[in-house]
Amino acid sequence: MKEIKNLVDLTVTEAVEVLSSGQISSRELTEAYLERISEHERDIHAFITTTPDLALKMADGADTKRLKATKENENIPPLLGLPLAIKDVLCVEGVRATCGSKILEQFTPPFNATVVENLLNAGVVVLGKTNTDEFAMGSSTENSAYGVTHNPWNKERVPGGSSGGSAAAVAAKFSPAALGTDTGGSVRQPASFCGVTGIKPTYGRVSRYGLIAYGSSLDSAGVLARTTEDVEIIFRLMAGYDERDATSIDAPVADAVCRDGADVKGLRIGVPKEYFIEGIQPEVAQSVRTAVETFRDLGAEIIDISLPHTEYALPVYYLIAPAEASANLARFDGVRYGLRASDENMLKMYTESRGAGFGPEVKRRIMLGTYALSAGYYDAYYGQAQKVRTLIKSDFENVFSKVDVIAAPVAPTTAFKIGGHGDDPLAMYLEDVFTLPANLAGIPGLAFPTGFDSDGLPIGMQLMGKQFDEPTLFKLGYVFQQHTDWHQRTPHL
């Protein structure tokens, strides 16, 4: 038997191994995480809601189930007893889902998101719901109505966003893995800011049912964990066709590629010049270039490429995402869900509930989006943005005839200071320049750590792949992590 390190140090792969061998119980593992959370959550604030009672109940259930299944020779679910944290925009039946918003402070969904349901069927134990920018709108978790999350590497820094709570929870070892969502970078950027690994899947690969909608043509549920192998395990179990999501695609989930013998020889990696622009923190560019050289040393072929419409991704996204958000958020009107601020008459109910329930960034996006969709402006803004979106998409299609994946920085800087962007929404939007294109094109992106800057903050790179080609991303991330140890470094809390 292998000696077990501190329980919270286990990766998903290791935890699953020691759970299956019976070396530890799910209760022991779950208690270890709950203890760590109660010790450090005050300083990090990764969660909006923790669910210790539910977690212990689920853990005991998992332990009982394992005993019974072993005795009766039944199948054992692959993640049976594994603790997991879930971003607060994904519905878990019976657990409050706030989306980081006051308007949903009292909302408890009566159903599970499909990704959650899939993972519950695989046996996970729910530790709690993680902090997020309100309705996933933001890049720092500062837009949460429930307070900011602190980066475990430096508590004066943001963890990134909007899945900042999930990234911080993994980095702080509050959970071996966490679910996030990525509409314009919200899995990859916080993964990069917190030194963890995260996947934003192909649009349509993972069900959006029960993911409280932000931008429906861009939203994708993803996973954050400490290694690529861990991310792949959870991704494969949550992915798949779902008839309850009309954009879900009926294609089989590929076999796991993170295993001994995986290699990257002959894979063609494109490096787009538009992602190494002026204004990027030099240490970030350098670290990503060094990682690309590591891939070259491992046998990959490196090719310079161009994605000429990259500069339009930011304005295009900040028209399309708010436009979709303005429509999606119309349902929060005081009638059906969450906050009702007035009963006096219908108009007052609408305006006062929305006025009191939504925070400033959400209101800004609703106004921007409503404007971009309004008669007389639709063609000039939303319509035009859709056309340019097609150009961005075709940039990728052209390049993917020459390369297998694209390597780029995740964000232009490492984690910035809490309050660092003050009241400047544009400065915040600029954080997303490198992550938005993948969402606009519907392609997958994997972020993983490649080094640290001189302030000791993690740097990450992303690999973007062809639609449905998550396996190639995982293979590259896995092989990189077999040869480097950036992902093994963890912060001292």
| Residue 127 structure tokens | 């530790």
Distance CA 92, CA 229 (A): 25
Tokens 């933001």 correspond to 138
* Contact with ligand GLN (CB under 6 A) among 101, 183, 353, 450: 183
Distance CA 410, CA 65 (A): 41
In angstroms, give the least distance from the CB of 112 to ligand GLN: 21
Within 13 Å of residue 447, how many CA atoms lie on the same side as its CB?
30
CB 55 within 8 A of CB 124: no
220 binds ligand GLN per the rule CB under 6 A: no
Q: How many residues bind ligand GLN (CB under 6 A)?
A: 13
In angstroms, give the least distance from the CB of 199 to ligand GLN: 13
Closer residue to ligand GLN (CB): 11 or 413: 413
Closer residue to ligand GLN (CB): 77 or 445: 445
The torsion angle over the Cα atoms of residues 478, 480, 483 and 487, rounded to 10 degrees, is -80
Q: Is 194 exposed, middle or buried (0-12, 13-18, 19+ CB in 10 A)?
A: buried
Asked if 248 is an active-site residue, the reply is: no
| Residue 361 structure tokens | 């960034």
Catalytic residue among 25, 26, 139, 162: 162
* Contact with ligand GLN (CB under 6 A) among 109, 159, 164, 185: 185
Distance CA 158, CA 174 (A): 17
CB 55 within 8 A of CB 30: yes
* Contact with ligand GLN (CB under 6 A) among 117, 142, 182, 274: 182
Asked if 162 is an active-site residue, the reply is: yes
Stretch touching ligand GLN by CB under 6 A, among 115-123, 181-189, 408-416, 473-481? 181-189
Asked if 401 is an active-site residue, the reply is: no
CB 343 within 8 A of CB 210: no
Phi, psi of 47 (to 5 degrees): -110, 145
Distance CA 236, CA 219 (A): 18
Sheet holding 458-465, edge to edge: 47-50, 125-130, 83-87, 177-181, 221-225, 197-200, 445-452, 458-465, 405-409, 268-272, 301-305
Which residues inside 145-174 make contact with ligand GLN, applying CB under 6 A? 162
* Contact with ligand GLN (CB under 6 A) among 432, 440, 443, 477: 432
CA 409 to chain centre: 16
130 binds ligand GLN per the rule CB under 6 A: no
- Rg of the chain (C-alpha set): 21
Closer residue to ligand GLN (CB): 184 or 444: 184
* Contact with ligand GLN (CB under 6 A) among 44, 99, 104, 137: 137
In angstroms, give the least distance from the CB of 9 to ligand GLN: 29
Stretch touching ligand GLN by CB under 6 A, among 55-63, 71-79, 131-139, 472-480? 131-139
Beta strands 197-200 and 221-225, pairing class: antiparallel
Closer residue to ligand GLN (CB): 218 or 238: 218
Stretch touching ligand GLN by CB under 6 A, among 57-65, 133-141, 190-198, 397-405? 133-141
Closer residue to ligand GLN (CB): 321 or 473: 321
Number of CB atoms found within 10 A of residue 374's CB:
12
Q: x/- site string to ligand GLN, residues 330 to 369, per CB under 6 A?
A: ----------------------------------------
Helix%, strand%, coil% for the chain, nearest 5:
40, 15, 45
136 binds ligand GLN per the rule CB under 6 A: yes
* Contact with ligand GLN (CB under 6 A) among 26, 98, 130, 186: 186
310 binds ligand GLN per the rule CB under 6 A: no
Find all residues with CB under 8 Å of 406, minimum gap 6, and list them.
269, 270, 271, 272, 305, 307, 396, 399, 463, 464, 465
* Contact with ligand GLN (CB under 6 A) among 164, 184, 409, 449: 184
Which residues inside 56-115 make contact with ligand GLN, applying CB under 6 A? none
In angstroms, give the least distance from the CB of 29 to ligand GLN: 30
CB 223 within 8 A of CB 199: yes
Q: What residues does 464 pair with on adjacent strands?
A: 406, 445
138 binds ligand GLN per the rule CB under 6 A: yes
Catalytic residue among 139, 186, 192, 248: 186
Stretch touching ligand GLN by CB under 6 A, among 136-144, 236-244, 293-301, 345-353? 136-144
Dihedral (CA of 191, 110, 44, 177) sign: negative
Which residues inside 234-263 make contact with ligand GLN, applying CB under 6 A? none
Which sequence positions are flagged as catalytic?
A: 87, 162, 186
Q: Which residues bind ligand GLN (CB under 6 A)?
A: 136-139, 162, 182-186, 214, 321, 432
